[in-house]
Each structure stands twice: as structure tokens, then as C-alpha cells.
Amino acid sequence: MTSLTKNRIESLDLLKGLVIVIMAIDHVRDYFHNSSYLFDPTDPTLTTIPLFLTRFLTNFCAPAFSFLAGLSAFIVGRRKTKAELSSFLLKRGFWLVFVELVIMNFGWCFDITFKSIHFQVIWSLGISMIILAGLIHLPKKIILIFSCVLVFGYWSLAFLGFWSLALNES
């Protein structure tokens, strides 16, 4: 066994692979399912069970990618100094942003002029890594406060948005 494979956690790699396979199935559906843009695959009145389940499961993929990226950063950070980890996260983050904006946008749209730019999961992971590259230098209490504001602030905005939509519809 090489030193590279000895340092890997197989269950994390398996989970990452499973999430990628589920996401790939959904992306293939986007390309080849002739009604993918005609109705919402999670609408129970219009969809089939396999289509619904595939689309439903993909709602967990982006949060799983984000969680696993953070967990991986933590694990890598246990073996590296803060400066090394920060450099690693910064490089990886910029690489992911590049991949999303250039490679993935071309792959989805087949448009060499890039008239339409889509910011999706890979971009958000890259930006998160860039931000994390700076955050790891802060004291843990500040990181905890930042994290709580981010998580609870998001849910507060989502909750307010839900009620705003509900009130506008009535």
C-alpha cells in the first residue's frame, strides 16, 4: 500500500463517490429526459417514482459536498500547519472556481462565448474554501460565532422568505 492510500479514509471516499454518482444520474436526466424542463420532477402529480426519488436525493448532494469538504479540510489541517492548510485551501478554492466558471459552464451550455455564466455547487465550494483559508487564522471563538451567524442567519432569512411568499399568495 502506498503512503497516499494509507492516509485516506475509505468510508469518506466511498461517501463522496456515492454522492457523485447520485448527482451524475440527475445531470444525465437533465440532458436526456425529454420533459426535464417541462415540469418539476418533485411534483407528485406529474412525475414518476424513480424520477421523483432521483431528484429528491440530489437535494442532499450539495450539502453533503459542503460537509465533506469541510470535514476533509479539518482532517488535512490536523497534518499541516495553518499556513500550509491556508495555502492548500486557497489554491483548491481558486481551482474549483475556475473549473465551475470555465469547464462546467462550457460543459452545460456548449457556448464558447460564455454569454451565460452559472454559479453552482462547485463554485460555492471553491468560494467557501477561499473564505475558510482566511478564517482558520482566527481564534476558535470567533470562528464559532461566525459559523452560528451564518447558519442561523441563513435559516432566519429562509424562514422570513417563506412567510413573505405565503403572505403574498394569500
Q: Quick one: pLDDT at residue 4? A: 54
Q: Quick: pLDDT tens for 125-134.
A: 999 999 999 9
Amino acid at 81: T
Q: Quick one: pLDDT at residue 14? A: 92
Provide the residue ranges of all domains of the chain, joining segments of one domain with +: 1-59, 64-137, 138-170
Q: Quick one: pLDDT at residue 6? A: 65
Q: 94, 126 in Cβ contact below 8 A?
A: yes
**Residue whose C-alpha cell is 492548500:** 88
Q: Which of 115, 121, 114 is nearest to 100 (CA)?
A: 121
Q: Please state the rounded mean pLDDT for residues 38-57.
A: 81
Which are the contacts of 124, defined by CB distance < 8 A and separation ≥ 6? 62, 66
Query: Predicted confidence band at 5 (pLDDT cuts at 50, 70, 90)?
Result: low
Rounding to the nearest 10 degrees, give the CA dihedral for residues 18, 46, 44, 25.
Answer: 0
DSSP symbols for 109-154: H--TT--S----HHHHHHHHHHHHHHHTTS-HHHHHHHHHHHHHHH
SS3 54: helix
Q: Please state the rounded mean pLDDT for residues 67-96.
A: 92
Q: Quick one: pLDDT at residue 167? A: 62
Lowest-confidence segment of 83-87, 121-125, 142-146 by average pLDDT: 121-125
What does the mean pLDDT of the chain come to?
A: 83
Q: Quick: pLDDT tens for 146-166.
A: 989 988 888 787 777 766 665
- Residue 115 CA to residue 111 CA, distance in Å, equals 7
pTM, rounded to two decimals: 0.72
Q: Quick: pLDDT tens for 63-80.
A: 888 888 889 888 988 999
Q: 143, 135 in Cβ contact below 8 A?
A: yes
In percent, the amount of the chain with pLDDT more than 70 equals 89
